């Protein structure tokens, strides 16, 4: 296991709001999260045209109205190559320089010219090469998904590792994991991935879950078994304060476990809410809330 010497990167996942009320609460969440100086904030992507527009609007807001660095999720399911090239160029045009390249979940009757995420990584790299002059020869950063618990369509965990390696070879710079609830699954994934030749950072995805319904929906969507200890605790909680504490404590323990295992970052699935995530961060012994890249100029010395 490779141990990190610097403190872990910090990032959050947001999704485009569905209504005016959720838009207002998202703006409050963004302001709260901005105060933690995250390294980046990722924005999820949904296939339908209306939601796509909202993804672009949220990315635009993050670039132009906040100090945050956005990472745009993009999926190849349901899209033609031409549409994906256009999407990549549109997102680069907003000033975004990071993508999370995903396949997405295949809907019935959907036509996808690119069957797997690896091809989307290659497409983004190709567009990047074609646009080098506009990007000042700068590199676009590409993340991909990794799975501590087997992806529902994969034959085995080993297949997931082989696919992760193929995404690295296609040009991925880092991976973010699917949510998981058994801590040892993260270190097992990292150890097997290293043995197979994966050397990009694998960042654990952490979600403070404060409701049994959300836990059940999440596990169903990700094709995972519901963790019985957390489900029992949430089911028998007698107040919203207790639900909150259970979710925060569980996520806090996970963060400590993955940091002990050398995690290079912590990526929080926020569900567009900040309270539980901020409570976890407050209790972690991290030199956070001051970005190591944002020192006063007077303190910067090269020699």
Residues annotated as catalytic are 13
Could you tell me the smallest distance in angstroms from the CB atom of residue 25 to ligand FAD?
20
Q: State the DSSP code for 62.
A: H
Of 152, 136, 135, the C-alpha closest to 99 is 135
Which of 12/45 has CB closer to ligand FAD? 45
Query: Residue 215 is encoded by which pair of tokens?
Result: 């836990």
**What is the CB neighbour count within 10 angstroms for residue 246?**
21
The helix/strand/coil state of 66 is coil
Shortest Cβ 134–ligand FAD spacing (Å):
25
Instruction: Report the length, in residues, of the chain.
Output: 303
Radius of gyration of the chain (CA): 19
Q: Which long-range contacts (CB under 8 A, 24 or more apart) does 227-233 make?
A: 227/181, 227/182, 230/181
Answer yes or no: are the C-beta atoms of 170 and 134 closer than 8 Å. no
Least distance in Å: CB of 60 to ligand FAD? 17
Nearer to ligand FAD, 75 or 219 (CB): 75
* Beta carbon of residue 32, minimum distance to ligand FAD (angstroms, whole number): 22
In the beta sheet, which residues pair with residue 143? 100, 174
Q: How many helices (H) and strands (E) does the chain have?
A: 10, 9
- Provide the minimum distance between the beta carbon of 267 and ligand FAD in the complex, in angstroms, as a whole number: 7
- CB 79 to ligand FAD: min, Å: 11
Nearest to 170 by CA among 112, 104, 126, 115: 126
Q: What are phi and psi of 30, to 5 degrees?
A: -60, -45
Nearer to ligand FAD, 54 or 151 (CB): 151
Q: Are 102 and 144 in contact (CB under 8 A)?
A: yes
Q: Rounded to 10 degrees, what is the CA torsion of 70, 127, 153, 16?
A: 30
Taking alpha carbons only, the member of 201, 199, 148 closest to residue 169 is 199
Q: For residues 173 and 143, is the Cβ–Cβ distance under 8 A?
A: yes
Q: Which is nearer to ligand FAD, 45 or 186 (CB)?
A: 45
Of 30 and 77, CB closest to ligand FAD: 77
Residue 293 · residue 300 · CB < 8 Å: no
| Contact residues for ligand FAD, defined by CB under 6 A | 44-45, 73, 75, 100, 102-105, 116-118, 145, 151, 153-154, 159-160, 163, 176, 178, 205
Nearer to ligand FAD, 137 or 155 (CB): 155
């Amino acid at each position: 296991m490779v141990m990190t010497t610097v403190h872990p990167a910090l990032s959050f996942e947001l999704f485009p709001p569905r209504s005016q009320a959720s838009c207002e609460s998202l703006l409050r969440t963004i302001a709260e999260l901005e105060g933690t100086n995250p390294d980046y904030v990722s924005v999820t992507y949904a296939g339908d045209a209306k939601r796509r527009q909202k993804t672009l609007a949220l990315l635009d807001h993050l670039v132009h109205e906040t100090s945050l660095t956005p990472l745009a999720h993009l999926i190849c399911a349901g899209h033609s190559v031409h549409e994906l090239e256009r999407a990549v160029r549109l997102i680069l045009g907003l000033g975004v320089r990071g993508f999370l390249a995903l396949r997405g979940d295949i809907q019935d009757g959907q036509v996808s010219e690119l069957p797997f995420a690896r091809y989307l990584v290659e497409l983004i790299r190709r567009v990047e090469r074609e646009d080098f002059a506009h990007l000042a020869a700068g590199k676009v950063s590409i993340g991909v998904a990794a799975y501590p618990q087997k992806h529902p369509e994969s034959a085995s965990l080993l297949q997931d590792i082989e696919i992760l390696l193929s995404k690295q070879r296609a040009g991925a710079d880092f991976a973010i994991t699917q949510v998981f609830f058994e801590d040892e699954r993260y270190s097992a994934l990292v150890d097997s991935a290293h043995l197979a030749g994966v050397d990009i950072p694998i960042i654990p995805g952490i979600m403070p879950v404060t409701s049994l319904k959300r836990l059940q929906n999440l596990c169903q969507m990700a094709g995972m078994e519901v963790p019985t200890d957390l489900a029992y605790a949430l089911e028998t909680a007698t107040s919203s304060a207790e639900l909150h504490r259970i979710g925060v404590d569980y996520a806090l323990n996970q963060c400590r476990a993955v940091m002990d295992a050398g995690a290079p970052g912590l990526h929080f699935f926020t569900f567009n809410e900040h309270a539980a995530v901020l409570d976890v961060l407050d209790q972690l012994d991290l030199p956070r809330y001051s970005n190591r890249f944002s020192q006063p100029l007077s303190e910067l010395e090269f020699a």
